[in-house]
């Protein structure tokens, strides 16, 4: 290993540690109770009621973190493009954490599974619209940043005479949540305040279309003969 490769490996490791630490910090912002110690059994039970929202938020944030872990497998060297996009992902993660928690807390609170944040209530459709839009924009920004990271990895692979197909496959997978988040935000903006509750649930149900990642991935692999290569 040359001196340049050794230095780039150290720089890539430091960047990954920073990203890991930043995502770990966002999860501490989601922890039920945070720095408050319950003073009674009733308060403890109220805090434990926030577990479903915390679990869902934890899973989504872990999904984005693991996306960055997978990107590193395709782009082992330190470079300016990867550094910028990784820091951008951290920036969006710190913004995303509160809309994420509020969205799931509202969802589970509405079906009596616990834990709406203190002082937060969806008293009118305008509040629900704002929550959908903030969540959708943040979701789009994070997923879109990961799509750009894999696009960058594909270009690096081409320059190094390696196959860019696996990076492009990952890029396509992250384009699905990017588009869904944007569509959800636009739909929330377009809905009139007088729309029935069923229509107001549609921006949230749009995210169920994430299952399309599976068929699109299979189609991509068959089109490029990746099953035969792997």
Q: pTM, whole model, 2 decimals?
A: 0.85
Q: Where are the domains of the chain?
A: 3-229
Q: What is the pLDDT along the chain (230 residues), one digit of tens a residue?
A: 555 455 666 788 899 999 999 999 988 887 755 556 666 677 667 677 777 888 888 899 999 999 999 999 998 888 899 999 999 999 999 988 888 888 887 777 666 544 444 444 555 566 788 889 989 999 999 999 999 999 999 999 999 889 999 999 999 999 999 999 999 999 999 998 888 878 888 998 999 999 999 999 999 999 888 765 55
Give the burial class of 59: count Cβ atoms within 10 A of its Cβ; 0-12 exposed, 13-18 middle, 19 or more buried: exposed
- Class of residue 169 by CB neighbours under 10 A (exposed 0-12, middle 13-18, buried 19+): middle
Helices 80-110 and 51-74, axial angle in degrees (round to 10): 160
Q: Note the pLDDT of residue 10.
A: 77
Residue 122 is predicted with a pLDDT of 54
pLDDT of res. 67: 96
Contact 54, 32 (CB under 8 A): yes
- Following DSSP, what letter does each residue of 5-54 receive, concatenated? HHHHHHHHHHHHHHHHHHHHHHHHTTSTTTTPPPSSHHHHHHHHTTHHHH
Nearest C-alpha neighbor of 136 from the set 102, 105, 113: 102
């Amino acid at each position: 290993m040359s001196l340049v490769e050794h230095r780039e490996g150290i720089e890539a490791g430091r960047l990954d540690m920073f990203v890991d630490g930043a995502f770990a910090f966002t999860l501490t912002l989601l922890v039920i109770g945070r720095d408050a110690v319950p003073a009674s059994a009733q308060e403890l039970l109220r805090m434990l009621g926030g577990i479903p929202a915390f679990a869902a938020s934890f899973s989504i944030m872990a999904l984005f973190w693991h996306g960055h872990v997978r990107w590193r497998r395709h782009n082992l060297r330190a470079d300016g493009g990867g550094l910028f996009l990784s820091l951008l992902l951290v920036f969006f993660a710190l913004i995303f954490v509160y809309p994420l928690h509020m969205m799931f807390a509202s969802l589970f609170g509405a079906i009596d599974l616990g834990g709406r944040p203190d002082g937060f209530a969806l008293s009118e459709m305008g509040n629900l619209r704002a929550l959908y839009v903030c969540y959708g924009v943040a979701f789009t920004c994070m997923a879109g940043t990961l799509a750009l990271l894999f696009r960058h990895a594909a270009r690096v692979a081409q320059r190094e005479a390696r196959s860019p197909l696996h990076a492009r496959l990952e890029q396509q997978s992250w384009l699905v949540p990017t588009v869904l988040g944007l569509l959800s935000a636009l739909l929330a903006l377009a809905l009139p305040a007088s729309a029935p509750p069923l229509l107001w649930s549609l921006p949230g149900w749009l995210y169920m279309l994430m299952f399309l990642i599976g068929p699109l991935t299979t189609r991509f692999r068959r089109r490029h003969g990746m099953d035969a290569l792997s």
